[in-house]
Structure 1
């Protein structure tokens, strides 16, 4: 039976992916700050879920992940679905700092631990949810866009490392557009997917072990357009 850990399973995409993995025969270690939400998953399939409730920004992630991996009996797949970001037109530093603590600091500790675990094991699959927002900077939520750009580039570096190992180690970067979760903030949203649809597509990407996947699929068009917009025009947007 395959073993997986989902970081950020209390709600949204992480919560839906936990359900999909269990439906496909996985034992799943689920993490998050809200233990009550994790217990709801656990109660639905008591033999398939193992709970570890902690805050990625204030705990020793490496130690917690090692303990959870032992509890589920190994690790084949880790999905990092924990992230944050707030609208911050006034550039309040605490808002930016909070975003970076999770999206940069905690992200780095978690993916480093995971990659090193899989390298020692000589196989495994790391999946992280970044965002299409990481393609360009953004005036409305500067730290969010910038931290997602960091994630995109970091994951690309890990894919290079995985290739160099010549082992079946896979690193997947999932770049969602708008999904109907608590993370969807601001006006002018379009092509908004349900978390159920987004999660089904993500699971398909995971099964194919793709390096990069856009959710929903048509968001690759927006990603391409964002890269093509000249700097002189983009800075006025």
Structure 2
């Protein structure tokens, strides 16, 4: 039976993906700040879930993850689904700081720990949920888009390290568009997918060990448009 950890499983994509992995014979360690939500998930399959309630921005992530690995007796897959972001047109520093604390600082600690664990083990699969927002900047959410750009580039760097290590380490960057979770903010949204649909597609990407995946698939078209819009036009949007 494969062993996985999902960092950020109390709600949203991480929660839906945990259910799919359990249905496919995974033992899973689930984390998040809200212990009651983790306990609800565990009740669905008590034997296959181990829980660890902690805040990525305030705890020793390495210590917490090592404890979960001990409970699972191994690790094949780590999915980092914890993230935050708020609209911040007025550039309130507290909002930007909170976004960077989770999306940059905690993100780096978790993915570094996972990569080093898999490198020592000689194999493993690291999956992180970034965002299509990381492809360009945003006047409405500067720190969110910038932090997701950081994640995209960091994961690319880890893929290079994995390739050079000549070990069976896979790094997957999942770039969602709009998903019906607490992260989807603003009016006039389109192509909003359910978290269940997103999780199902993510599981398919995990099985195929894809390097980059857009969820849902149609957001790949938007990604191509974002990359080709001239700077002169984009800055007026």
Q: Same fold per TM (> 0.5)?
A: yes
Q: Aligned residues, how many?
A: 237
The residue that corresponds to 1:24 in the other structure is 24
Structure 2: distance between partners of 1:68 and 1:9: 14
How do 1:3-152 and structure 2 match up within 5 A?
Answer: 3-152=3-152
1:197 aligned to 2:197? Answer: yes
- Tell me, in whole angstroms, the C-alpha distance in 2 between the residues paired with 1:150 and 1:199: 23
* Separation in 2, partners of 1:186, 1:211: 30
Mapped to 1, the partners of 2:211 and 2:112 lie a distance apart of 17
Structure 1 position 188, deviation (Å): 2.5
Q: CA deviation at 1:44?
A: 1.0
Give the secondary structure class of the aligned counterpart of 1:140.
coil
Q: Distance in 1 between matches of 2:4 and 2:26?
A: 7
Listed as ranges, the gaps of 5+ residues in structure 2 are none
C-alpha distance in 1 between matches for 2:117 and 2:106: 17
Q: Distance in 1 between matches of 2:188 and 2:126?
A: 32
Q: Distance in 1 between matches of 2:80 and 2:110?
A: 8
CA distance in 2, matches of 1:5, 1:112: 15
Q: Which moved more, 1:46-55 or 1:186-195?
A: 186-195
Unaligned runs of 5+ in 1: none
Q: What is the match of residue 229 of structure 1?
A: 229
- In 1, the alpha carbon distance for the partners of 2:163 and 2:78 equals 18
Match of 2:175 in 1: 175
Deviations 1:166-212 (A, max 9, x none): 11100000000000000000122111101110000000000000000
4+ residue segments displaced more than 3 Å: none
- Secondary structure of 2:170's match? strand
| CA deviation after TM superposition for structure 1 residue 165, in Å | 1.0
Looking at structure 1, the residues matched to 53 and 196 of structure 2 have their Cα atoms a distance apart, in angstroms, of: 23
Match of 2:209 in 1: 209
